[in-house]
Chain A
Amino acid sequence: MACFLVSAAEAIVVKAVEKGVEKKESASHKEGELQVEETHKIPFSRKLKWLCRMLCGGSVLLAFEHVWHGEVVPWFPFLTAASDPNDAAEMLHEMSTVGVAMAVLVTVVWIGMCVVADVIVKRPEKNIESSKAL
């Protein structure tokens, strides 16, 4: 009914955090605080960008699905379920179950992605050559 709103809200929070982290990183980069080891690391702001894109993309496409099914309308209160108290309760229940589960799954997958990305970046060139031979 409105499960996409949870992911959309998380996307807004992530975007704000991303901007803050990006500022911090560029400031420390200017001051030359970066260690040699850190230059081979993927910046955290870039990783947050991945999460933000997944959350935003998913929310937009899911919102479209809700428009398709007539659950989101272009007039107030925008959610058809919000106009009826019984439907509103059901909508809130769905948001707290399906919506939260969606946001959690995307975040968990993103954490896995970050770990794998760090491993790939740290992998020596030799391994890349040997995997090419397979």
Chain B
Amino acid sequence: MTLLITIFAAVVVTVLWYNRKNDDMRLGTLCFLFWGASLMWLVDAIFEFAELKMEYFTPAPEDMLNDAFLGLAVVALALVIWLVRLLIADPKGSVRRALKKE
């Protein structure tokens, strides 16, 4: 479930990156973050499948729910990392302008 949620997030962000007008939002960073994690969880899933065989596809509902929560938490963490990086880099100068105003 975590792998699936991360892959969906990676695909959505990649589509947004492809359709970007300019590089102000630094979506590339988010793409690499999600794709890197997706590849790593894919390896984890392959090893788990090798161990559990077909049982891998029938997880207990409780485990699935926990994995789904983890997936969403991972997406939230990645978004926060991206946002902090974006605000620090401040490519549009919005933060600088706001700080100077006050």
Contacts and interface: CB of A to CB of B under 8 A. Distances in A.
A101 B2 contact: no
Interface in B45-99: 46-47, 70, 73-74, 77-78, 81
Contacts of A109: 35, 39
* Chain B interface category by residue count: 20 to 34
Contacts, number: 75
A116 to B, nearest CB: 14
A98 B78 contact: no
Contact of A65 (B39, B42, B46, B74): B74
A46 to B, nearest CB: 11
Chain B CB within 10 Å, residue with most, of A59, A64, A65 = A65
19 contacts: A3-B40, A53-B32, A54-B36, A57-B34, A57-B78, A58-B33, A58-B37, A60-B33, A61-B33, A61-B40, A61-B78, A62-B37, A62-B41, A64-B73, A64-B77, A65-B2, A98-B47, A102-B44, A105-B39
